[in-house]
Amino acid sequence: MAKLDVDMVKVGQVREATFFPNPHADSPFPLRATHLDGLRAPKVVLTDDARIQAGVPVMVRVEEVTKPKRDDRGIIRVAYARPAPFRLEGVWLDPMVARKLQVLLESGLNILLDGPQGCGKTTLVRAVCDQLGMRFVFFNCGAVIEATDFFATIQVRASESGAPVTDFVKTDVLEALEEARETPDERFLVFLDELNRCPESARNALMPALDATRRVFHPIENRFLAIPDNVQFVAAVNRGRAFSATFGLDAAQLDRFAPLQMGYLPPAEEVKLLRRRHPDLGRETIETLVAIADAVRGARELGQGLSVRATEEACLYLAHPLMEGGGERMIAEVLKSSFCGRFDGRWDDVTSDAGAVWALVERVLRDRRES
């Protein structure tokens, strides 16, 4: 690996580094790094800046380079400058949305991700947690009926005598809130997926958690629980006429969040993503799948888009040995289920949404054949 020359490291420079605990327990510097901007540093990089977290990439400012003429002595002392820009492996995010997201995460505000199904909201939040060293806590709001369901569920079990016994069982959300109080140095991100799939009356239980009150009712201990500062909430919603069993978010609930709009990947980025995941599948095949998916997503009359999961599923089919050698015919057969099967009706019913998708499949295949 390439190595930086000591003359290239100047006081005042800002470079990226990832720190880990210093194995020398008696050192005044609890964190150390070995690389700057991805290159081997000429001396060990040390910091005592409490704003820097172990394992989280960060931009640091060079404060001092000691013993620059010695290869076997000296250190590079640095301090926190700013967060490192997002570099999310396997996830594409619009550059401006990425900047906004980074600002909101630093501010600690609640975030609402609003975008079509399968555009990568959950995958994005998981990747962000990995990047920032946060604990990811997933909770699907579709299972919530009553307000207390966010924090505890009722389970019925048989006692030793055989009589039924009712127990309150903590949800992952409540366990995370309790654990966050015990571990103030760790950051928790609570991801409320499908927030608009639970009734509005149940969502009201979250209102004090999302505003300046920052507390929730503990249904097991019959008391209010304060939410520590190291907990941040991110919610995701799907909105539109294509979604059933969803409930609108009123103005007061929306105002508790900073909204961010997400969309599907641009075709070129989706091709790159699928090629990384399926290196044995030909580029032309992947480009064809993405071109068809893009046509479906652009058809407003369908009322819904086509998730990235659909193109991923089609790649899994076509990469399997059972599907080898089929060419365009095999692509068409796979898309009858992977694409058309995600819409109402059947692929061979021209009056249905699935039939309209099939017409787009045939059109794109024909256009690519003739081009």
Contacts of 54 (CB under 8 A, 6+ apart): 19, 20, 21, 31, 133
The pLDDT of residue 239 is 59
User: Where does residue 8 fall: left (phi above 0), alpha (psi -120 to 50 degrees), or beta otherwise?
Assistant: alpha
- pLDDT tens for residues 316-336? 999 998 988 778 999 999 999
pLDDT of res. 5: 92
What CA–CA distances, in Å, run from 148 to 145, 154, 173, 180, 181?
8, 10, 11, 20, 20
Whose tokens are 């540093």? That residue is: 41
| Pairing label, strands 258-261, 111-114 | parallel
The length of the chain is 371
pTM: 0.75
User: What b/e readout covers 88-105, taking b as 16+ CB neighbours within 10 angstroms?
Assistant: beebbbbeebbebbbebb
Strand 188-193 vs strand 231-237: parallel, antiparallel, or unpaired?
parallel
How far apart are alpha carbons 14 and 9 in whole angstroms?
10
Kindly give the parts of the chain with pLDDT less than 50: 240-245
Residue-wise pLDDT for 202-236, tens only, equals 888 888 989 889 999 898 888 999 999 999 999 99
Place of tokens 């409320």: 192
Residue extents of the structural domains in the chain: 6-83, 95-261, 267-370
CB 29 within 8 A of CB 22: yes
What pLDDT is recorded for position 224? 92
Helix (H/G/I), strand (E/B), else coil: 176: helix
Closest CA to 92 of 348, 339, 269, 236: 269
Distance of alpha carbon 257 from alpha carbon 111, whole angstroms: 5
Q: Is 203 exposed, middle or buried (0-12, 13-18, 19+ CB in 10 A)?
A: buried
24 three-class SS: coil
In sign, the C-alpha dihedral spanning 86, 90, 95, 101 is negative
Q: What is the pLDDT of residue 134?
A: 86
Decide which of 3.30.160.110, 3.30.230.10, 3.40.50.300, 3.40.309.10 is the CATH code for 95-261. Answer: 3.40.50.300
Write down the pLDDT at residue 138.
Answer: 95
User: Domain 6-83: which topology?
Assistant: OB fold (Dihydrolipoamide Acetyltransferase, E2P) (2.40.50)
Name the amino acid, one letter, at 132: L
Placement of tokens 């290239």 in the chain: 8
Q: How far apart are CA 239 and CA 261, in angstroms?
A: 11
Q: What is the pLDDT of residue 241?
A: 47
- Phi, psi of 258, deg, nearest 5: -95, 110
